Amino acid sequence: MNQPLAHIPPTFEGLDPRDPGTWPAWLSLPEVCQILRLALGTVRQLTQERKLKARRFGRQLRVHRDELTNFTANR
């Protein structure tokens, strides 16, 4: 039996990439990667180029749910 999301860590199990209502207010970069289906390096590059706005919480970068929906709507 093939499980399509078996490689995703358990903390992402309830995250539906198509439904922003299931996303937390602030998403970690691995969560953004899952939603956009991009590599971590690509998402980091988008944040460094300020194409995708992110905020630092301690040592972690987080992207707000609204920022991510705006980013995907404009692409």
10 within domain boundaries: no
> Which residue would you say has higher pLDDT here, 7 or 52?
52
Q: Is residue 15 part of a domain?
A: no
29, 63 in Cβ contact below 8 A?
yes
Domain ranges, residue 33: 24-73
pTM of the shown model: 0.80
Q: Report the C-alpha gap between 6 and 19 in whole angstroms.
A: 19
32 found inside a domain = yes
pLDDT above 70 for 24: yes
Cβ neighbours of residue 28 closer than 8 Å, sequence gap 6 or more: 60, 61, 62
Q: Tell me how many domains the chain contains.
A: 1
Identify whether 18 is part of a domain: no
Strand ranges (DSSP E) for 1-75? 26-28, 55-57, 60-64
Q: Does residue 49 lie within any of the structural domains?
A: yes
**CA torsion, points 49, 55, 59, 62, in degrees to nearest 10?**
-90
Output the pLDDT for position 3: 52
On whether residue 9 sits in a domain, the answer given is: no
Question: Is residue 10 predicted with pLDDT exceeding 80?
Answer: no
pLDDT band at 11 (very low <50, low <70, confident <90, very high): low
Report which of residues 10 and 27 the model is more confident about.
27
The answer to whether position 36 is within a domain reads: yes
CATH of the domain at 45: 3.90.105
Report percent pLDDT > 70 for the chain. Answer: 83
| CA distances (Å), origin 48, targets 3, 24, 32, 73 | 34, 22, 15, 20
